[in-house]
Structure 1
Amino acid sequence: MPSLPRLPISYLIFIAMSSPIAINLLLPALPSIAKQLSVDISLVQLSYSLYLCSLAIGQLLVGGIVNHFGYRKTMLIGLVSFTLGSAVGGGFGSLEALLMGRIMQGLGGAITMSLARALLVDGAGKDKASQQMGYIIMAIAISQSIAPLIGSLINSSLGWQIIFVFSLMQGAILLLLTLKFIPQQTQPKQRPSFQENLTLYGQLLKNRDFRTYAIANTLVAICFYVFVSSSPYIADTFAGGIHAYGYWFISISMAFMVGGYLSTLINKRLALDKTILIGNVISISGALLLLLGQLLLDSSYATLFLPMCLVTFGRGISQPSNQTSAIASIASQSSMAAGLMGFLQLLSGAIFSQLTPLIVSTFPLLVYVLIFTCMSLAMWVHLGHWRNTGKAI
């Protein structure tokens, strides 16, 4: 497949933001939807979990779709699914349409998230992409922070169905921008079959570089998923009540965003592995402080969130380099690498998110042990690979 021209970073950022915004816009409206549709909240909650499942499955499939159709057609397929899903989810006012729309949004969002990273690496090259990947990470962090607020305002003033109009407009604009920026590509006469795509995924998993950076990236992400899924239950008994939770959570997003910005500066001066090491050292320090704080101090919002800000700040520094290194490990299959990495991260996050509430109710301290252990393993995996490749540390 011919190489792509370097695409505007603003376009790639807008593409990367579409799915994080869509998944979080609806969260504040879930209780209202349950009341209006006269259904149990657990059924409406499926609109979130089905989106995550679609996102994971879609990212696993996106590489094979790119190999068959090319970047331009694959992106258009994803955006059409995302846009139609937005119309279906909010246009019929029923639970069935809501869930079907969220599945379509998730599948389309998987393509946009994966291809935003793959197009950056393919167009800019590994070194320049590592400097700009931080901007995408920052954009995702901002999206996750502001989307619930936007969704809440729309729901309170116009109703939950209008939330989908926001996503529909976003998808329509991205369709027009994609037609403008991504050129037509000559497709190979022999397109990989389903079996051949499975073989390509196997080759990715056998590649030591991809395996190392994807595993390290997933382990650091698990720390975040464990925290997010446990902190509402832990904070429920804190002074200030659960109402203060949202304000404290903004600090996590801000720390991630600042780390992402610093990664763009650090990568201009240091090699990717050194940037990852800096991020990992900061994150493991935060994880240790988080564990010690729960052992030695009274639990509070400060002892819970401040050390986790350090963990997330370090993740913001290391994640762009981890993702760039994983995607660039097999240059000819960057879209498959991005999709497989996203699938591993989301699947692991879903599993641990489902288990964490049970851990909180039985042995809460294990939450902090788990965060410290995953962060330690991430650092160990990366350092072991770095030494084995013979690079100076």
Structure 2
Amino acid sequence: MSVRSLDRTTPPHILTLVMAAATAAVAMNVFLPSLPGMAEYFEADYGIVQLAVSLYLVATAILQLGIGPASDRFGRRPVMLASFAIFIASTFAATYAPTIEIFLVCRVLQAFAAAGMVLSRAIVRDTVGTDEAASRIGYITMGMTVAPMIGPLIGGFLDELYGWQATFHLMLAFGVLAFAVVWLDLGETNHSRSASMSSQLRNYPELFRSRRFWGYAATAAFTSGAFFAFLGGGPFVATVQLNLSPSQYGMYFVLITFGYMLGNFISGRFSRVVGIHPMMLAGNLVSAVGMALSIGLFAAGLYHPLALFGPTFFVGIGNGVTLPNATAGIVSVRPHLAGTASGLGGALQIGGGAVLSVVAGALLAPGSGPYPLLFVMFFSSIAGVLATLYVIHVARKMESL
């Protein structure tokens, strides 16, 4: 079926999927430079305020378990629109939260923005095959990184000029715009809906029995885990140990997101030619080398922001190369369960990232130096390499049968 812009009778334009997927990413990182200031505003420990990242990740992981099957049952369009409406309402409420507890509840509800990520992947798989899906997901992710790439930079300046609430005003505006675009352009692509939610949820064991699914999901979890650990611990290292201001943190953060965009471009350009397994392996190796470089620079006494942010550029590239291919593998193991697989795989990916984000934040202290964060990121990347090798092993065994 041909695609026509702003036509609800055809599949959505790729730019619509970019905006939908970007909403969750904007909500994730645009306010990161404000975390230390928010701790002062709410008179709470940094570890408590950092839960705004960790709880968002946990909620995103859990919600994906329902969003995917719901879209297989009711359709991609209604589920995405309902989820975005909840995101808009909770973002408005978070802006005026009087206590840290209420604010964190609002952050949990903001995780409904995950529908944009989950369903954009399922929509792609509804319309194309595995290798083409990896390419398109790569291009979608590359496009969606533009907003979060400049988000922390803009968020840092907004925080210094108007306070942390201004970053949530920006989230709110982005969410309203995304809702409008989805409403006008997202045509339904799920034309083989399941009979009921209960029957759809009963399909989980079919995915659980697939060793390839677990391999792809583990690869995605460990790969993104390095990035999420940085989200949890990076602001502390940058502001407390490297003495960066919020706006300076935002400027340096551009390096990792630019690397992520470049990695997704590479994925979109070469996945169809090279194949998803070599791309996954190469991406994880690049991430591991980047973190080894950062550890070496700090060990040599180079306590400079570029010793942290420069090597994370390679972590961004590695994530951008690996994740579209791992995601394409996740949703292609059982094509008739694309939505369910996308939700479950995304839940495992984000859940693993949330754990590593909490670990990184908990291990950091004023006297610890950056090493707890760097080693968490390094070992997460190495685990991604091992998970990819497992997938390759399983795939070769299946081919030999």
Tell me, yes or no, if the aligned pair for 1:90 and 1:164 is still in contact at 8 Å. Answer: yes
- Match of 1:26? 31
1:377 aligned to 2:381? no
Going from structure 1 to structure 2, the CA distance change for 1:199 and 1:40 (only over 3 Å counts) comes to same
2:73 matched to 1:68? yes
2:195 is equivalent to residue 212 of structure 1:
no
> Cα distance 1:373–1:278, how it changes in 2: closer, same or farther (>3 A)?
closer
Q: What is the count of residue pairs matched by the alignment?
A: 383
CA distance in 1, matches of 2:375, 2:49: 30
Residue 99 of structure 1 pairs with residue 141 of structure 2: no
Deviation at 1:294, TM superposition (A): 6.2
> Structure 2 matches for 1:186-225, cutoff 5 A?
190-193=195-198, 196-225=199-228
* Larger deviation, residues 226-235 vs 247-256: 226-235
Which shifted more, 6-15 or 346-355? 346-355
Match of 1:10 in 2: 15
For 1:266-286, what per-residue CA distance to the aligned partner results, in whole angstroms no more than 9, with x for missing partners?
A: 124332223333334434444
Q: Counterparts of 1:235 and 1:80 in 2: how far apart (Å)?
A: 34
Choose 128-137 or 224-233, whichever is displaced more: 224-233
Verify: 1:120 aligned to 2:124, yes or no.
yes
1:79, distance to aligned residue in structure 2 (A): 1.0
Partners of 1:54 and 1:212 in 2: how far apart? 23
Shift of 1:317: 1.4
Superimposed CA distance per residue, residues 108-150 of structure 1 (whole angstroms, 9 cap, x where no aligned partner): 2121221121112213332322212112322343333322222
After superposition, the C-alpha distances for 1:265-323 in whole angstroms (9 at most, x for unaligned) are 1124332223333334434444555566666x445445544444334323311221111
Q: 1:209: how far off?
A: 2.6
Q: How far apart, in 2, do the equivalents of 1:56 and 1:222 lie?
A: 13
Q: Which amino acid aligns with 1:173?
A: L
Whether 1:55 aligns to 2:55 is no
Q: CA deviation at 1:21?
A: 0.8
Alpha-carbon distance, 1:18 to partner: 0.6
From 347, 352, 359, give the equivalent of 1:348: 352
Shift in Å, 1:357 = 4.5
> Residue 290 of structure 2 contacts residue 312 of structure 2 at CA under 8 Å; is this kept in 1?
yes
What's 2:137 paired with?
Answer: 133
Distance 1:293 1:19, change over 3 A: same
Distance, in Å, in 1 between the alignment partners of 2:76 and 2:395 is: 32
- The Cα shift of 1:344 comes to 0.8
Structure 2 counterpart SS, 1:88: helix
Q: Which of 69, 82, 92 does residue 77 from structure 1 map onto?
A: 82
Q: 2:6 corresponds to which residue? A: none
Structure 1, 205-214 or 158-167: larger mean CA deviation: 158-167
Q: Which secondary structure does the structure 1 equivalent of 2:12 belong to? A: coil
User: Could you say which residue in structure 2 is the equivalent of 1:390?
Assistant: 399
The answer as to 2:192 corresponding to 1:183 is no
- RMSD between aligned residues: 3.3
Post-superposition shift, 1:16?
0.6
The runs of 5 or more residues in structure 1 that have no matched partner are: none
8 Å Cα contact 1:359-1:366 kept in structure 2? no
**1:331 and 2:335 correspond:** yes
Please give the per-residue CA displacement for 1:5-34, whole angstroms capped at 9, x wherever unaligned.
Answer: 542110000001111112323333445555
